[in-house]
Amino acid sequence: MVHKKYTFRQVAFAAAAGTVLVFILAFYLWQITEIVRLGYEAGKAESAKLTLEKDVHRLAAEKASLLALDRVERTAREKLGLADPREDQIVYEDKR
């Protein structure tokens, strides 16, 4: 059996085609891994967003409870020792 000899041009073309094929395959695999990585990253970001939204709702409820007027008044009377003003401390303005 006699093997045909390949010319330099045929060998170079085959090598270049093989190299291009390897680069295309590498790019395709890189693209798939990047899509998967971005999917995981988006999932983590969504989870963090949900956690932060829960914290915002919890803090808003806590703020509302701390700013309730009866609580503020009770704190002012008990801890700060404040009382209702006497009649001589009240000044009325004439708004004309």
Please tell me the predicted confidence (pLDDT) of residue 15: 97
d(CA 45, CA 39): 10
Please tell me the predicted confidence (pLDDT) of residue 1: 64
pTM: 0.55
Residue with tokens 């001589």: 88
The domain spans of the chain are 8-80
Please tell me the predicted confidence (pLDDT) of residue 13: 97
pLDDT in tens, 48-74: 999 999 999 999 999 999 889 998 899
Report the pLDDT averaged over residues 19-31: 98
d(CA 40, CA 38): 5
CA angle 71, 80, 75 (to 5 degrees): 10
d(CA 61, CA 59): 5
- In this predicted structure, the answer to whether residue 96 has a pLDDT above a threshold of 80 is no
Main-chain phi, psi angles of 84, to 5 degrees:
-65, 150
DSSP string spanning 22-61? Answer: HHHHHHHHHHHHHHHHHHHHHHHHHHHHHHHHHHHHHHHH
Please tell me the predicted confidence (pLDDT) of residue 88: 87
pLDDT in tens, 26-54: 999 999 999 999 999 999 999 999 999 99
